[in-house]
Structure 1
Amino acid sequence: MYDQTRAQQPDDRPPGHAGRRAPGPEPLLPSGERDRIVRRLGHAVNTFADAPGEALEEAESAFDEATEALVNALMERRRVLRAGWQDHDPVTQSAELRLALREYREITGRLLRA
């Protein structure tokens, strides 16, 4: 489930009282990239009354940027996962394969819940 408080915390300041990161999956996009897209979308919403056409174009552009960033992040995550298990002997590397399977399951589940 989306945690707005955790998503808005900058990477340089660890969340929580003890300085630990909150439990849960790592965000798919870096916080700076997410923040930039959120600001663009917010700007579009705030300027809609004065310039609806321009606001919609900006919102569409923010959506396109978010989509592209997400696809790129997912492709990179897949590349890293694949490199970790492809070409390994399944018998001797079963623990690593199990971890890769968990990661595939986790990220696929997140996509299906979105």
Structure 2
Amino acid sequence: MAERAKLPERKPGAKTPAPRGGSPSPAKPRGAAPKKSADRTRTPWKPRLRSTAGVQDGLREARGAFVDDPAQAVERADALAEKVTDALVSALRERRAELRSAWNAEGSDTEALRLTLLEYQSYVEGLIGLTK
């Protein structure tokens, strides 16, 4: 039986020989993640709330105060819930106004409308995700 020729060992990150007529390319490490597309529409939109600073601390304080004054603790939690609700509604209205202005602008071409439709899809899917 004939012996096989021993192949030279490749160092990690070494360039892979190019196919005939091509240029060399760096070897891809095993398990390397594929490059992500710049298409933002694949991830549902999620609101970024402003003016919610201290809400978590306030909830902790309300829970801690419950033993001494349960009614006041619940009132405090309700005020915090109102603050977060108002911030959420504000973020939703702001995003919708941004989307509306994108297609209400004069001279919106088909490509701009297509991209706006994808942004609406992301927005709606994000809202649906909030209910799950």
Work out whether the TM-score is over 0.5.
yes
TM-score interval, smaller chain: 0.5 to 0.7
Contact 1:28 1:74 in 2 (8 A): no
Q: Which has the larger radius of gyration?
A: 2
Q: After the TM superposition, which parts of structure 1 deviate over 6 Å for at least 4 consecutive aligned residues?
A: none
Q: Provide the secondary structure at the position in 2 that maps to 1:49.
A: coil
Higher RCO structure, 1 or 2 (CA under 8 Å, sep 6+): 2
Match of 1:85 among 86, 98, 103: 103
Taking every aligned residue pair, what percent have the same amino acid on both sides?
Answer: 33
State the superposition RMSD in angstroms.
Answer: 2.3
| Partner in structure 2 of residue 20 of structure 1 | none
Question: For the residues of structure 2 that align with 1:26 and 1:109, how far apart are their CA atoms?
Answer: 9
TM-score by length of 2: 0.56
Question: For the residues of structure 2 that align with 1:97 and 1:77, how far apart are their CA atoms?
Answer: 16
Q: Is residue 40 from structure 1 mapped to residue 58 from structure 2 by the alignment? A: yes
Q: Provide the secondary structure at the position in 2 that maps to 1:55.
A: helix
**Unmatched segments (≥5 aa) in structure 1:** 1-22
Question: For the residues of structure 2 that align with 1:45 and 1:95, how far apart are their CA atoms?
Answer: 52
Q: Is residue 55 from structure 1 mapped to residue 73 from structure 2 by the alignment? A: yes
Question: For the residues of structure 1 that align with 2:67 and 2:125, how far apart are their CA atoms?
Answer: 38
Contact 2:103 2:116 in 1 (8 A): yes
After superposition, give the CA deviation of every residue in 1:13-57 in whole Å (9 maximum; x if it has no partner).
Answer: xxxxxxxxxx96564214xx3342222222212222222111100
